Amino acid sequence: MRKGNKELIREINRTLVLNLIKNHAPISRIDLAGLSGLSAASITGITAKLIDCGLIFEKEEGDSRGGRKPILLALNPHGSFMVGLKLTEQYAIGALTDLQATVIANHRSRLKNRSIEAAIDTMVGVVKTLSDQGGMESEELLGVGLGLAGIVHGAQGILRHSPILGWRDVPLKNMLQDRVGAPVYVDNDVNTLTLTELWFGAGQGVDNFLTVTIGRGVGLGIVINGQLYQGAYGGAGEFGHTVIDPEGPPCACGKQGCLETYTSDPALMLMVSDAITRGEMEEGVETVADLLTRADEGDVAARKIYAKAGEMLGIGIANLITLFSPQLIIISGEGVRAGDWIFEPMRASIARHVMPGLAEDTKIRIDVWDDDAWARGAASLVLKKLFESPMHREMIEFSA
């Protein structure tokens, strides 16, 4: 790792200034010097380069303190763009965003088959379509972020294992980067969503928070001391595969009684099948959306299924609170559409199972779900590279 290197120092100062502009814009160069501790000359040089590369721009003048009014600086949302991709079993979902993670265009394409090659082809097509929709020149593409379910070694860009896709040890970063002609960053999809919360969502200004996602699976994003925690090899956060009951239903990962076997969408549908077999529910529930409709209409069995899922989710979250004592837990994902049918029993279960004295300090927030949130989150991988401290990046690369 480089120490005391002039290039590294320049990178650190550049990232410091860029983050100050992101957090305090519009801001003058004088105020930047005061907040950063850098000289006025250094600030002038750094901001000139940031303007040249389109990351920031000068906007209206600020209030005068006597003399000439200062020129204010802010992020240039349209100076560079990035593409976020979410890869599922059936689709490649993409979003073109600006520097503030505002979605400019969306596109999704169905995978021809479950092969790795077909997925790469489809994702390249989505990037091309989004670039065309945004009228974007190739040099304006800052990078591509890819989020998908599974254990991902982010520093190497390798998907180590995805039970949902059935892939192991796939060098997705290199495979995709060779085709799109821009830097590619890969991570677990829940981590990408957590980054969006950290940069632009409910996690702004919160040093310690967790993002829990429910839907096709159950995931966890972890922020500790303002940094995304991924574990030594990228495997941290496999919340859905924590064992709640070792005698419980079999899980796709090979164990029994994982949280996903009670709370995920496939688990809900298995409970529906069992309820129909027992004669407790009428046939006709083919999807989770059908199950929610039944619950809304007063179906006792449907509400019982959601109550069981909520109870088990509450046990899992109570364990998270006991382990991490976070300031905030954000619950997101497609599964939040179930609303209070799952969240009322979840809250009651948390109250029963959390260590006394801890729950009162943790706020739980349910995020309204947007289908494009996954892709928008993946775009934040590019923003992470842009705003992250070079020292932090070097430590990760060194350990990898």
How many Å apart are CA 272 and CA 255, to the nearest integer? Answer: 22
* Catalytic residue annotation: 189
How many Å apart are CA 186 and CA 381, to the nearest integer? Answer: 8
How many Å apart are CA 203 and CA 212, to the nearest integer? Answer: 13
Q: What 3 state SS string does 154-184 have?
A: CCCCEEEEECCCCEEEECHHHHHHHHHCCCE
Q: CA neighbours within 13 Å on the CB side: how many for 389?
A: 7
Other Cβ atoms less than 10 A from the Cβ of 161: the count is 16
- For 339, the 3-state DSSP assignment is coil
According to DSSP, residue 140 is labeled G
How many Å apart are CA 252 and CA 268, to the nearest integer? Answer: 15
Give exposure, 364-381, as e/b (b: 16+ Cβ within 10 Å): beebebeebbbbbbbbbb
Where does residue 190 rank: exposed (0-12), middle (13-18), buried (19+ CB within 10 A)? buried
Where does residue 101 rank: exposed (0-12), middle (13-18), buried (19+ CB within 10 A)? buried
Question: If you count DSSP H runs as helices and E runs as strands, how many of each does the chain have, helices first?
Answer: 13, 16
Q: Which of 161, 142, 134, 165 is nearest to 76 (CA)?
A: 142
Residue 190's identity, in one-letter code, is: V
